[in-house]
């Protein structure tokens, strides 16, 4: 088995490679955000929820890229401090974005539940109207109408439960990613600011 002697590793080469990979990760992250954010519509709830979810999913690339750039910039105190300040600001912004994710998830969940309730009410109204319609087919019995009404109620309740569960899972995953990466960025920021 071959081993590499530590004397063979050139520190300048390692820092250069870290900078190249780090800047590549950062560029990829920025390109992804631009693609996801276009066309910008931050006042639209669906756009904001989707954007924040995608941001949280891709945020580990940002953390990894900045960490590599910081390793590559370890000989430059000025650049390290600038990166540290950037990390602190973005880390705090990630934590603040969590509040927006919670709010938007609750609003989106309520909208979904209201839509399901409205559609179920419309179907129930149509079922009731069909029972009293003078041209209703003779095979439409009160039992069939009751069964149809019960099926609509059951399906509406099932859809509501799925909406609650799905939106809650997505919100928790987004918040978890934003908090963890935010803490990582704050840690990198503190490291970069303290580095002498």
pLDDT on residue 143: 83
DSSP 8-class letter at 40: P
pLDDT on residue 8: 63
Report d(CA 185, CA 196) in Å as an integer. Answer: 19
Report d(CA 53, CA 74) in Å as an integer. Answer: 32
- The model's pLDDT over 76-109, given as tens digits with 9 standing for 90+, comes to 889 899 999 999 999 999 999 999 999 999 999 9
Does this model's pTM top 0.75? My answer is: yes
Look at residue 19 and tell me whether its pLDDT is greater than 80: yes
Burial of 44 (0-12, 13-18, 19+ CB in 10 A): exposed
Chain-wide mean pLDDT for the chain? 89
- The model's pLDDT over 65-84, given as tens digits with 9 standing for 90+, comes to 999 999 999 888 898 999 99
CA 21 to centroid of chain Cα atoms: 25
Look at residue 175 and tell me whether its pLDDT is greater than 60: yes
DSSP 8-class letter at 38: P
- The model's pLDDT over 146-169, given as tens digits with 9 standing for 90+, comes to 888 899 999 999 999 999 999 999
What are the Cα distances from residue 51, in Å, to 59, 110, 188?
12, 19, 24
Domain spans in the chain, listed from the N-terminal domain onward: 12-124+155-194
Burial of 169 (0-12, 13-18, 19+ CB in 10 A): exposed
Report d(CA 181, CA 61) in Å as an integer. Answer: 10
């Amino acid at each position: 088995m071959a081993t590499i002697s530590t004397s063979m590793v050139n520190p300048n080469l390692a820092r250069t490679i870290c900078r190249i990979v780090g800047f590549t990760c950062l560029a990829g992250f920025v390109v992804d955000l631009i693609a996801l954010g276009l066309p910008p519509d931050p006042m639209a709830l669906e756009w904001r929820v989707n954007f924040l979810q995608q941001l949280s999913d891709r945020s580990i690339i940002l953390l990894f890229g900045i960490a590599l750039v910081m390793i590559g910039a370890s000989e430059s105190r000025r650049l390290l401090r600038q990166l540290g300040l950037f990390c602190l600001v973005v880390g705090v912004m990630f934590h603040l974005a969590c509040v927006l994710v919670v709010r938007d998830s609750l609003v989106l969940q309520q909208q979904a539940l209201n839509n399901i309730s409205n559609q179920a009410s419309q179907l129930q109204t149509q079922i009731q109207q069909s029972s009293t319609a003078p041209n209703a087919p003779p095979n439409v019995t009160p039992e069939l109408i009751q069964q149809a009404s019960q099926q609509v109620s059951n399906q509406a309740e099932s859809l509501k439960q799925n909406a609650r569960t799905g939106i809650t899972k997505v919100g928790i995953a987004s918040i978890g990613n934003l908090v963890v990466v935010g803490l990582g960025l704050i840690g990198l920021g503190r490291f970069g600011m303290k580095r002498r």
